[in-house]
Amino acid sequence: MGKCIDWDAYAPGAAYDELIAGGGRARPGAGRLCRFLGRLSATELRERKAAAELAIQMMGITFTVYNDKRSAPPAGIDRAWPFDIIPRVIRKSEWDRIQAGLAQRVRALNLFIDDIYHKQKIVRDKVFPREILAGSRNFRPQCVGFSPPQKVWAHICGTDLVRDKDGTVYVLEDNLRVPSGVSYMLENREVTKRVFPELMGSIRVLPVHDYPAQLSDTLAAIAPRRVARPEVVVLSPGIYNSAYFEHAYLARQMGAELVEGSDLVVADDDRVYMRTIAGLTQVDVIYRRIDDLFLDPEAFRPDSAIGVPGLLRAWRKGNVGIANAPGAGVADDKVVYAYVPQMVRYYLGEDAILPNVPTYMCVDKKVRAYVLANLEKLVVKPANESGGYGMLMGPQSTKRERAQMAARVKARPREYIAQPLVTLSTAPTLVGTRPEPRHMDLRPFILSGRDVTVTTGGLTRVALKAGSTVVNSSQGGGSKDTWIVDTSRGA
């Protein structure tokens, strides 16, 4: 039973590798992990992998794929969560800086949203162009003039980070509508504890388990009624939603009710109630996992079957807290994103700690000409899509795809941005029992209330196909546990 992984033979390629610096040398913080893995035989590695798969299956950690008809059961659409057992490691000293950068960013974003729905000073001071606001698909006129408690609009933010070739960490996007993934971050750690108990004991990996309690506190703090135990509910579109697992998970962890639109009713007193076996019970705070437009058929899309008629009315009257606040998505737009460093300077008087990926805005005529002339070098993204849909990856695109994208950009320039291709960092990922480099990103979650708290690490999403940079679970991505390791002396 010889050892199986030979780190000297591991070839990271052109990207920055999170674990191995080249020549088989482990990066600071990852040494013990790499040595431990290097001592395992192929059989032992296979056993650990099987243990992880079993744990995931038994714990029922799943995600939902739409229209999946391949399995035998009538609606067998929840799939086991794809997970790689080799964790990704970040040193605490580096993480502290990233954490500060994220907190700063989200503070600025919340100030921006509040400003946009009030005096729009940032527009009047010509820091943020009026025409971009005018073209925003996620601006909600229904929210103008409203002040949510603590002036916080985006209570929960999931910000995607990527690391380029030279090791710089960039912000790729901020998800301020209904970001998902945090439950997988928590469950990944549970799986790792079952798979590598001896490692978790010997390496100082910072814990991640306090998120549900912090989320619960953040939500309770926006309850309009001053009651000892406000009624907090998680509003889900239901069992067929791709993130249903997470909705149920968070509700359970917080001890909150998991509700669907049909469970709630806004009564004549403009308060929100849920239908219980003992009659109607007032609801204080709704952690909604439904997009703005489906939230309330009276205020937004009248055809929404998953919303609650009158909800916006109840919220505007101050009778219920909603997180994230309706309208928060105005800052969740890849064109608005480009202005976040300016927002940080404008509202906080500070320089942004975390840089943006350079972003070309097609709405500007000169910039557009540059983008159109350089499509094969750039990544073009729709401003308002998520999940990696509708993108053009220039270097891998065909002539036809570029022509189609050019036509779309010309027709609706406000809807598109372009960025240079960031070579996403890699980390060793098991293919059989062999580690191979696979690209990844990182989604930390930031909670905003009276204070701002950032998860310890976040969800590392990894593209399981060689060379691919598409990390979305809906498109063949998987995930890894993310370790923030304290390497300070005595650690």
Q: Binding residues for another protein, per CB under 8 A?
A: 57-60, 72-75, 78, 234, 239, 244, 248-249, 251-252, 256-260, 262-263, 265, 274-278
Q: In whole angstroms, how close is the CB of 322 to another protein at the nearest point? A: 19
Please identify, using beta-carbon distances, which residue of 298 and 401 lies nearer to another protein: 298
Q: In whole angstroms, how close is the CB of 78 to another protein at the nearest point? A: 7
Q: In whole angstroms, how close is the CB of 214 to another protein at the nearest point? A: 18
Q: How many CB atoms lie within 10 A of CB 167?
A: 10
**Residue 133 parent element (H or E):** helix 130-134
Are 324 and 156 in contact by the 8 Å Cβ rule? The answer is: yes
Please identify, using beta-carbon distances, which residue of 169 and 233 lies nearer to another protein: 233
Residue by residue, DSSP assigns 441-470 as: EEE-EEEESSSEEE-SS-EEEEE-STT---
Which positions ≥6 away from 142 have C-beta within 8 Å? 299, 300, 312, 316, 326, 327
The C-alpha atoms of residue 340 and residue 176 are separated, in whole angstroms, by 13
Which residues is 300 bridged to in the sheet? none
Are 455 and 156 in contact by the 8 Å Cβ rule? The answer is: no
CA 374-380-382 angle, to 5 degrees, is: 150
Residue 348: which of 97, 118, 128, 104 has the closest Cα? 104
Please identify, using beta-carbon distances, which residue of 242 and 356 lies nearer to another protein: 242
Please identify, using beta-carbon distances, which residue of 191 and 380 lies nearer to another protein: 191
**Residue 111 parent element (H or E):** helix 92-116
Q: In whole angstroms, how close is the CB of 285 to another protein at the nearest point? A: 16
Helices (H) and strands (E) counted in the chain, each on its own, are 15, 24
Task: Give the tokens for residue 22.
Answer: 């080249």
Pairing relationship of beta strands 434-443 and 459-463 according to DSSP bridges: antiparallel
Please identify, using beta-carbon distances, which residue of 54 and 373 lies nearer to another protein: 54
The C-alpha atoms of residue 169 and residue 160 are separated, in whole angstroms, by 10
Please identify, using beta-carbon distances, which residue of 57 and 168 lies nearer to another protein: 57
Please identify, using beta-carbon distances, which residue of 127 and 239 lies nearer to another protein: 239
Q: In whole angstroms, how close is the CB of 270 to another protein at the nearest point? A: 17
Q: In whole angstroms, how close is the CB of 325 to another protein at the nearest point? A: 24
Please identify, using beta-carbon distances, which residue of 55 and 203 lies nearer to another protein: 55
Residue by residue, DSSP assigns 272-288 as: EEEEETTEEEE--EEEE
Task: Give the tokens for residue 124.
Answer: 């009047």
Please identify, using beta-carbon distances, which residue of 165 and 252 lies nearer to another protein: 252
Q: In whole angstroms, how close is the CB of 85 to another protein at the nearest point? A: 20
Burial category of 339 from C-beta neighbours within 10 Å (exposed 0-12, middle 13-18, buried 19 and up) = buried
End-to-end CA distance of the chain: 32
Q: In whole angstroms, how close is the CB of 299 to another protein at the nearest point? A: 21
Are 176 and 109 in contact by the 8 Å Cβ rule? The answer is: yes
Q: In whole angstroms, how close is the CB of 340 to another protein at the nearest point? A: 35
Please identify, using beta-carbon distances, which residue of 156 and 256 lies nearer to another protein: 256
Q: In whole angstroms, how close is the CB of 272 to another protein at the nearest point? A: 14
In whole angstroms, what separates CA 355 from the centre of its chain? 18
Which residue type sits at 154?
A: A
Please identify, using beta-carbon distances, which residue of 169 and 243 lies nearer to another protein: 243
Q: How many CB atoms lie within 10 A of CB 428?
A: 25
Task: Give the tokens for residue 331.
Answer: 């800052």
Q: In whole angstroms, how close is the CB of 163 to another protein at the nearest point? A: 35
Half-sphere exposure of residue 390, counting CA atoms within 13 Å on the CB side? 14
Q: In whole angstroms, how close is the CB of 254 to another protein at the nearest point? A: 9
Please identify, using beta-carbon distances, which residue of 78 and 333 lies nearer to another protein: 78
Please identify, using beta-carbon distances, which residue of 94 and 260 lies nearer to another protein: 260
Q: In whole angstroms, how close is the CB of 262 to another protein at the nearest point? A: 7
Going 104 to 183 to 88 to 357, the CA torsion angle's sign is negative
